[in-house]
Chain A
Amino acid sequence: MVAVSCLTKLKGVIYCNYMLLRSLARVTNFGLQGFWRNLWLSAVTVTIITLSLLSVSLLATISVLSSAALERLEERIDVSVYLKPELKADDIELARRQIESIPGVKSVMLISSADALERFRAKHASNPLISESILELGQNPLGATVVVKAATEAGYQSILSELETSRHTIYIQEARFDDYRKVVNTVSDISGRLRQIGGVVTAVFVAITLLVVFNAIRINIYTHREEIAIMRLVGATSWFIRGPFWVESVLYAGLATLVAAALFFPLLSLFQPYISTMFNGYEFDMVRYFSVRSLPFFGLQFVAASLLNVVASTVAMRRYLRV
């Protein structure tokens, strides 16, 4: 008796699962059918989502570019500490070690007085007056220089303050600290503002994108309102009515992501020469940067677009489901 009951239950479970699978297959089929038979509307919706995704990709590109540009700019910043010319080699080495031990210093590079003179000559090669003046002096007027790089952009402030203390001023001849401060502060300000503006622009753009996609899906559902009413009339459950539209929504997102990805890389290749010019002297390949990250980059866009479409469909349908 118990065995028969269990068998009946098992049959029931198997039948229920079979029914569920059948319904899922039908919902998918109706979704695909709806997409295909409403090709123009589907094409318009996919185009809108594609444009939105391309806009998001463009924003991401600008963000990556500005971050990379700032990074390169920050790399160029250093503090040159000019040592007194009368210092002996041992004193110079000691000064170098002391500067190196300042907290926040990433690296130091020592330029000997001879190298400093050579660089000075090269820099002013076009000015015969300066060259003649050096010759007249008969000796090297320049001392050694220690070029300091900070671990972080913010670290320059504390390094500069430390160099101003009496512990270091005894061996430093000249250091136009204020000039460096200005450069560092300007870069820091630009960097901060760029990030803030970028954040606001991205937020506004994403909000516009959300509204555009949301409305595109709403229009799509509106054109299907009769169909939804008929589905209710013949006894379709709410999820059976929603299902095909969800399938369509995910399909829109998938196709739009593929098209956006297909357009994004050629566009990026087109702009790569200009980007290379902008990063003069540095290797920065945007196509490679996004190729390496293409799966998470476009995967995330697909997931976000799908979720947005499904939510938009659900909200838009709610009105027509009260039939």
Chain B
Amino acid sequence: MPLIQFRNVSKIYPKGVIALKDASLAIDEGEFVSIVGQSGTGKTTLVKLLIAEEEATEGRILVSGWDITGIRQSEVPILRKQIGVVFQDFKLLLRKTVFENVAFALEVAGVSSEQVKSIVPQLLKIVGLEHKAERFPRELSGGEQQRVVIARALAHRPKILVADEPTGNLDSINTSEIIELLKHINEFGTTVLLVTHNREVVNGLKRRVVMMDGGRIVSDQAKGRYLL
């Protein structure tokens, strides 16, 4: 059974604005899938539906067999512990240190302080920031901030890591570092969903590419390229 399933999903906003139309998609465990397309083609809507930030107008969405289409607000935290999310604008707590930002994801889940102290350094080591644990986000570069977000997203050992334009604010060197990090995470078994419109990044990956246009999935290739 696929890890993620979108079954004929549509998202129509008030006044008839169609963000997603009849999208069907199945992603297996361990895959690295790039969702590509121009701005406003429905990529981010797909992500928002997956993390239950938005509710589908039609169709069904399943994560590990769990139908999250009509998910209750009280169940959202459970879902979000299974899906790590990385956004273009970092979304870090600016008044917390790097360590505290990563620890926060564990603390909200009730993980003991001893475990937090043991897990966070490991996560920071994975993203190469173990020496900047006490810095505040504003003291880091864009690439470093994004790596903190990735470390935080991995805190619950999620089955899925969704990265929505993670390199949108980064230069080419930082971009390639972040992509390498995502590939590395995928090699450890985490399913990665990369949403991007960066042609070079997608073509360099040589992994599955799902292309969107006008709110629809227009192509889905196992080792695709971003051609548009």
Contact = CB atoms under 8 A, between A and B. Distances in A.
Given A38-B95, A227-B93, A234-B152, A240 B108 contact: yes
Contacts of A19: 110
A158 B81 CA distance: 79
B108 A230 contact: no
A277 B53 CA distance: 67
Nearest to A20: B110
Nearest to A231: B108
Interface string A15-26: 000010011001
Interface stretch (B37-45, B72-80, B169-177, B207-215): B72-80
Contact of A234 (B78, B112, B155): B155
B105 interface: yes
Interface residues on B, range: 20 to 34
B105 A235 contact: yes
Contact of A23 (B91, B95, B110, B152): B110
Contacts of A38: 95
Contacts of B93: 227, 230
Nearest to A240: B108
Given A230-B93, A323-B53, A237 B107 contact: no
B30 to A, nearest CB: 22
Nearest to B92: A230
Nearest to B80: A235
A34 B100 CA distance: 13
Interface in B96-110: 104-105, 107-110
Contact of B80 (A33, A226, A227, A234): A234
Interface in B44-85: 51, 53, 73-74, 76-78, 80-81, 85
B77 A237 contact: yes
A22 B156 contact: no
A237 B77 CA distance: 6
Query: B77, B85, B152 — which one has the most chain A CB atoms within 10 A of its CB?
Result: B77
A37 B156 contact: no
Contacts of A34: 95
A150 B62 CA distance: 84
Interface string A205-236: 00000000000000000000011011111111
A238 interface: yes
Interface string B149-175: 000100110000000000000000000
A240 B156 CA distance: 17
Interface string B106-138: 011110110000000000000000000000000
Contacts of A235: 77-78, 80-81, 105, 108-109, 156
Contacts of B92: 230
Nearest to B111: A22
B110 A234 contact: no
A226 B101 CA distance: 13
Nearest to B90: A230
A38 B95 CA distance: 8
Contacts of A226: 91
Contacts of B110: 19, 22-23
Interface in A1-30: 19, 22-23, 26
Contacts of A236: 77, 108
A229 B91 contact: yes
Interface in B160-214: none
Interface in A228-261: 229-238, 240
Contacts of B77: 232, 235-237
B188 to A, nearest CB: 20
B80 A232 contact: yes
B76 A232 contact: yes
Contacts of A232: 76-77, 80
A33 B93 CA distance: 12
A22 B112 contact: yes
B93 to A, nearest CB: 6
Given A235-B109, A238-B73, A230 B80 contact: no
Contacts of A230: 91-93
A230 B105 CA distance: 9
B107 A26 contact: yes
Interface of B: 51, 53, 73-74, 76-78, 80-81, 85, 91-93, 95, 104-105, 107-110, 112-113, 152, 155-156
7 contacts: A19-B110, A37-B95, A231-B104, A232-B76, A233-B51, A235-B81, A240-B108
Given A38-B95, A230-B92, A234-B80, 5 more contacts: A22-B110, A230-B93, A234-B105, A235-B108, A323-B53
